[in-house]
Amino acid sequence: MRLILLGPPGAGKGTQAQRIVEKYGIPQLSTGDMLRAAVQAGTEVGKRADALMKAGKLVPDEVVNAIISERLDQPDCAKGFILDGFPRTLVQADATEAMLKDKGLELSSVIQIVVDDGILAHRVSGRYTCANCGAGYHDTDNKPSVEGVCDRCGSTHFKRRPDDNAETVVTRLQAYYKETSPLIGYYYAKGKLKSVDGMADIDHVTGEIEAILSKL
Ligand code: AP5
Ligand code: MG
Ligand code: ZN
């Protein structure tokens, strides 16, 4: 199963990707997570990406294309993968096509998570993740069952992203409309696009996605 999750910042791509990982055992390839790891590690890529990410702007295509191309060659991608936050421009979408063609693979589906703009700042500014296992939470909408303790791994350490503030969300949303939203038409034209209602609660969205995946 080779999937793309498409949607604006805070749509729920990461949240749903984690659930697909658990159910289907295929890896989540989040360029955002990989870039944050590169920033943390202080690599050349990280140094290039840091300021752009903090400002809510996209990192250059050649940087993320190279990251994904390398990642797709890892053995755990052999049985499938979920692309989360990639591709994000038409150049990246064409590069994805070329990479898959090269490996003799085809995309299974592109799932667009549709949400109203008004909710995105709320979702993003309340978000935090487990510093140990990466499980995602929200201050009001998606709390761990025991306050301050990760449901998945029991850790009590959490972190927040530097770009998760109301100001940066505006720039991220602009980048989404300008650069990423054309991919909706791109994948529709290829007959790959499916949409789910990202305004519904998290379990409901998962149900809609599972209904799509069960027909692949
Ligand atoms: P990235 O990390 O991909 O961020 P993003 O696209 O802005 O998306 P988010 O991770 O913010 O949102 P999400 O859809 O994953 O939502 P989540 O599930 O966490 O990219 C960050 C930056 O890296 C970019 O700005 C760019 O600089 C760079 N970058 C990354 N990829 C790139 C690329 N390909 N090209 C160029 N640059 C790139 O959910 C959000 C919150 O809402 C959570 O708290 C969650 O609990 C809650 N929530 C989720 N679903 C629901 C629901 N149904 N109801 C209520 N609450 C919900
Ligand atoms: Mg995410
Ligand atoms: Zn955890």
Ligand showing the shortest atom-to-Cα distance for residue 134: 3
Pocket of ligand 1 (CB under 6 A): 7, 9-15, 31-32, 35, 52-53, 56-59, 64, 85-86, 88, 92, 123-124, 126-127, 136-138, 141-142, 163, 172, 198, 201-202, 205
CB 129 within 8 A of CB 211: no
* Antiparallel, parallel or unpaired: β 158-159 and 136-138: unpaired
Residue nearest to atom 20 of ligand 1 (CA): 32
- Which of 2, 36, 88, 194 does the annotation list as catalytic? 88
One-letter amino acid for residue 70 of the chain: E
Radius of gyration in angstroms for the set of CA atoms belonging to the chain, rounded to a whole number: 16
pLDDT, tens digit only, all 216 positions of the chain: 999 999 999 999 999 999 999 999 999 999 999 999 999 999 999 999 999 999 999 999 999 999 999 999 999 999 999 999 999 999 999 999 999 999 999 999 999 999 999 999 999 999 999 999 989 999 998 999 999 999 999 999 999 999 998 889 999 999 999 999 999 999 999 999 999 999 999 999 999 999 999 999
